[in-house]
């Protein structure tokens, strides 16, 4: 059992699977000698060699295309896109080949690949480094989109992603790469994909979030408990395909819902959750669904990020709105 950060849990999972399965190959910009811009792959090239931990040119389309070729021939590539904001040159490959290959070949070829991307704000990075665009990929059939919220989930979910027969986008919230440490045993036990985690049980209001925003959401739940409000807190974890069963069960129990996301509000994952609840559990609701989100603007630079990203206070305000309905 080791006390590790989220980024260390990612490294641990990669090393475990590379040791276990020689078909697993890591590639990306600076992932080898430098160990990646955030050091997620530190030490892996020294341990597994340059043929399995490959430094690539600054060419995301090439990284994705090379991964398609590898995956189609039975390998399990784990390409890293250095920042999620750099993924767009690779989107053609991801949408037209990665997501569609199983359907296109009627199952004769699959894409067992895990595309890792640091994403989200909170580190005062410049433009193209801080967006939360998970909804773009959650909308594409054939892709799983997974977002860990803490070190133990990063380890277990990344193992599951690398073992999946189909493509997984694994989005790592860089704001919490080194925020906390969890005890994680390097035992190779994967967490289930497509399953929400109930981090806290309650019967007054359901708080739904994922990724880095789980920290503010849990802090808000703690403050609510001091006021006598018992919040149920759900970590979605896999935003596509989504485990709505767990969410529906919670809505039937509480009747009030606050969805917390870092991404802009319009056309977002939170909008899909709200629509699903309205479609299937409308009569369970006591109050309108409240969404607490980033703004419908480009993520601002540096210190202005704090004006953009949801805070504990904004979450508490959202809860007050839904609790006003009796």
Consecutive H or E run containing 180: none
Give the number of C-alpha atoms closer than 13 A to the C-alpha of residue 140, restricted to the C-beta side. 23
Cα separation, 149 vs 239, whole angstroms = 12
- Give the torsion sign (CA, 270, 275, 278, 284): negative
Cα separation, 311 vs 135, whole angstroms = 21
Whether 129 is catalytic is yes
Mention every residue, 6+ apart, whose C-beta is less than 8 A from residue 50: 32
Are the C-beta atoms of 285 and 251 separated by less than 8 Å?
yes
DSSP 150: S
Q: Which listed residue (129, 139, 182, 280) is catalytic?
A: 129
Q: Which of 76, 81, 82, 107 is nearest to 94 (CA)?
A: 81
**Residue 304: is the preceding peptide bond cis (ω within 30°)?**
no
Cα separation, 128 vs 110, whole angstroms = 31
Alpha helices in the chain (DSSP H): 6-20, 44-48, 60-72, 91-93, 101-104, 134-138, 151-163, 213-226, 244-254, 269-280, 305-308, 312-323
Cα separation, 124 vs 103, whole angstroms = 41
Give the residue numbers marked as catalytic.
Answer: 129
């Amino acid at each position: 059992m080791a006390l590790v950060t989220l980024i260390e849990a990612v490294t641990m999972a990669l090393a475990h699977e590379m040791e276990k399965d020689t078909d697993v190959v890591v590639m990306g910009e600076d992932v080898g000698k430098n160990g990646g811009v955030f050091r997620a792959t530190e030490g892996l090239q020294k341990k597994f060699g340059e043929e399995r931990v490959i430094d690539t040119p600054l060419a995301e389309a090439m990284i994705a295309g090379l991964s398609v070729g590898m995956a189609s021939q039975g390998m399990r590539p784990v390409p890293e896109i250095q920042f999620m904001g750099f993924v767009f040159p690779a989107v053609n490959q991801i949408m037209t080949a990665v997501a569609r290959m199983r359907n296109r070949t009627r199952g004769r070829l699959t894409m067992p690949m895990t595309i890792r991307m640091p994403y989200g704000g909170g580190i005062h990075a410049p433009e193209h480094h801080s967006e939360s665009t998970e909804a773009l990929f959650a909308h594409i059939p054939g892709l799983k989109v997974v977002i860990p919220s803490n070190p133990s989930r990063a380890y277990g979910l990344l193992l599951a992603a690398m073992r999946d027969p189909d493509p997984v986008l694994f989005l790592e919230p860089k704001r919490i790469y080194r925020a906390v440490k969890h005890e994680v045993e390097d035992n190779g036990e994967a967490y289930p994909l497509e399953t929400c985690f109930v981090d806290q049980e309650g019967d007054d209001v359901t708080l739904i979030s994922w990724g880095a925003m789980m920290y503010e959401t849990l802090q808000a739940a703690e403050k609510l408990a001091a006021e006598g409000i018992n919040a149920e807190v759900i970590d979605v974890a896999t935003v596509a395909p989504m485990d709505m069963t767990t969410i529906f069960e919670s809505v039937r129990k509480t009747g009030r819902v606050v969805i917390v996301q870092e991404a802009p509000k319009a056309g977002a994952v939170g909008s899909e959750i709200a629509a699903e609840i309205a479609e299937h559990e409308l009569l369970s609701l006591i109050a309108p669904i409240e969404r607490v989100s980033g703004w419908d603007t480009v993520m601002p630079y540096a210190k202005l990020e704090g004006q953009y990203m949801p805070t504990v206070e904004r979450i508490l305000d959202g809860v007050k709105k839904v609790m006003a309905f009796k």
